[in-house]
Chains A and B, each alone.
Chain A
Amino acid sequence: QKEVEQDPGPLSVPEGAIVSLNCTYSNSAFQYFMWYRQYSRKGPELLMYTYSSGNKEDGRFTAQVDKSSKYISLFIRDSQPSDSATYLCAMSRTGNQFYFGTGTSLTVIP
């Protein structure tokens, strides 16, 4: 079983829609959770970081962590064509070695 599971998609939504991206994990010791955005032929860039459980909001992005269910989510409100990218979740037990999901490909259609 992989440490982190993420549906690869692809996910296609109309502009303005709310997007929900999710990851599940198996290691209950994970306590650092991150979401990265990766445009084609580019390196990943950090979008959101959450420590332990709870919600975090930054502009149109909201990250949620449910440790009891071993489930994390990223919500994108009022999605824009510029949000079209691959979204990777990542998590860590100690803040040292990070385990990444396979990424979900998102296309926002104008």
Chain B
Amino acid sequence: NAGVTQTPKFQVLKTGQSMTLQCAQDMNHEYMSWYRQDPGMGLRLIHYSVGAGITDQGEVPNGYNVSRSTTEDFPLRLLSAAPSQTSVYFCASSYAGQGFYEQFFGPGTRLTVL
């Protein structure tokens, strides 16, 4: 049982480039979400999904796209990277509604946009 896994661990992009951060979980959790953490701050919700085929926006969704074609995977796409997107990105999953159930987090992806 690997829990929540994220790839890559580190990434450097140039402004305007696009990329996809991968997230997978093997706990058969319905809910998955993406957060970003900026220096000295708590985590802020980007997008979340309540099940395969269903996604919704969080606090800071601009510049990011998500899709959920399977229960296990929830990739986060940066369409045109900007320096303001330099951050650490965490993926999380839970059995059901993240407002109600315990959340489990992946190890994070540290992204730098030059």
A and B held together in a complex: no
Report B's interface with A, CB cutoff 8 A.
Answer: none
Report A's interface with B, CB cutoff 8 A.
Answer: none
